[in-house]
């Protein structure tokens, strides 16, 4: 039990690290002729292609794909929330706001969504420490939003990041509710539906082929955060509560901020550090559960 719990924590943190690369990779692609819709579509399309090639050489993968057809409706719904809503609105938000602002606000709205709907749909119980963690989280996110919002596009960027966060939060809860297990085979389905969903805005904006120089970044975006991030998240949900996974993945803004500083020279400064520290405290508070007191025998 303890080993599976630790594994769940490591998987959730792994997802946070991988997802923290989305902002820097996406912004790098904007310097070419690719729009946010194009970036969203291509990274999903490449991820689907990579996984499809893997199916050719792995019979177990193909068997799992067939077995998952019984959950096709639930998978299609979760793909809409976790692929289309998350990818499209998050990527578009990076066009209006700096990376830390988008990531903090996205995960803030996501954790609020998860907190509410995990209680309603999954009947997950919340102890006092989780409420303390949520309170500190909200304060930390407000500090980050206002501190970064003045230069980060508080209006359009905030709305887009918020919509992406709601979609991701619902994705976490519904994936758990529908008991969608299957590892990479499940992600194959998510990408399959995602390609169709994301093609709509891509087509409406005008289809454009990526430049040769942008292909490596697209491949990295498809493999690391897209395949790797979703794999770690879906696997973590097998070992931890949805709300707990989301709180752990709130460390993503920290990694995203570090990556943004190294690559884009965007960095957290001033009062923004207070928000980051409060978020770390919130994560610890939500994860810490006091051990029950041992009964004293007479």
Smallest Cα–Cα separation from 108: which of 147, 83, 143?
A: 143
d(CA 226, CA 83): 9
Looking up tokens 């570090």 gives 258
Smallest Cα–Cα separation from 168: which of 230, 256, 93?
A: 230
Smallest Cα–Cα separation from 37: which of 101, 79, 87?
A: 87
The pTM assigned to this predicted structure is 0.83
Cβ atoms of 165 and 44 closer than 8 Å: no
With cut-offs at 50, 70 and 90, classify the pLDDT of residue 56: confident
d(CA 195, CA 10): 29
Q: What's the confidence (pLDDT) of residue 143?
A: 78
With cut-offs at 50, 70 and 90, classify the pLDDT of residue 108: confident
**Could you read off the pLDDT of 240-274 as tens digits, one per residue?**
887 778 677 777 878 888 888 888 887 766 777 78
- Tokens representing 181 are 């297990």
Q: What's the confidence (pLDDT) of residue 124?
A: 78
Q: Assess whether pLDDT exceeds 60 at residue 298.
A: no
For range 196-208, the mean pLDDT? 94
d(CA 140, CA 159): 18
With cut-offs at 50, 70 and 90, classify the pLDDT of residue 88: very high
Q: Which has the higher per-residue pLDDT, 199 or 128?
A: 199
Q: What's the confidence (pLDDT) of residue 269?
A: 66
**Could you read off the pLDDT of 92-105 as tens digits, one per residue?**
999 888 887 788 77
Q: Which has the higher per-residue pLDDT, 171 or 230?
A: 171
Cβ atoms of 180 and 186 closer than 8 Å: yes
Q: Assess whether pLDDT exceeds 60 at residue 154.
A: no
């Amino acid at each position: 039990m303890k080993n599976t719990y630790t594994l769940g924590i490591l998987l959730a943190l792994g997802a946070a690290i991988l997802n923290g690369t989305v902002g820097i990779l996406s912004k790098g692609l904007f310097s070419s002729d690719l729009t946010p819709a194009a970036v969203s579509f291509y990274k999903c399309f490449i991820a689907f292609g990579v996984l499809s090639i893997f199916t050719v050489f792995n019979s177990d993968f193909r068997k799992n794909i067939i077995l998952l057809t019984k959950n096709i409706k639930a998978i299609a719904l979760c793909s809409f929330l976790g692929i289309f809503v998350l990818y499209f609105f998050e990527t578009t938000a990076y066009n209006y706001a700096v990376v830390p602002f988008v990531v903090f606000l996205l995960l803030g709205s996501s954790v609020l969504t998860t907190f509410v709907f995990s209680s309603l749909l999954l009947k997950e119980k919340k102890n006092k420490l989780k409420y303390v963690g949520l309170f500190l989280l909200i304060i930390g996110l407000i500090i980050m939003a206002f501190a970064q919002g003045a230069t980060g596009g508080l209006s359009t960027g905030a709305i887009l990041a918020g919509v992406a966060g709601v979609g991701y939060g619902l994705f976490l809860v519904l994936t758990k509710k529908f008991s969608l297990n299957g590892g990479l085979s499940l992600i194959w389905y998510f990408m399959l539906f995602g390609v169709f969903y994301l093609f709509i805005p891509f087509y409406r904006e005008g289809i454009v082929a990526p430049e040769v120089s942008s292909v490596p970044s697209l491949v990295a975006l498809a493999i690391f955060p897209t395949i790797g991030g979703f794999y770690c998240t879906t696997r973590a949900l097998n070992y931890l509560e949805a709300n707990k996974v989301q709180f752990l993945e709130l460390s993503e803004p920290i990694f995203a901020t570090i990556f943004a500083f190294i690559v884009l020279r965007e960095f957290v400064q001033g009062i923004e550090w207070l928000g980051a520290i409060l978020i770390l405290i919130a994560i610890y508070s939500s994860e810490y559960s006091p051990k029950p007191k041992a009964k004293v025998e007479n």
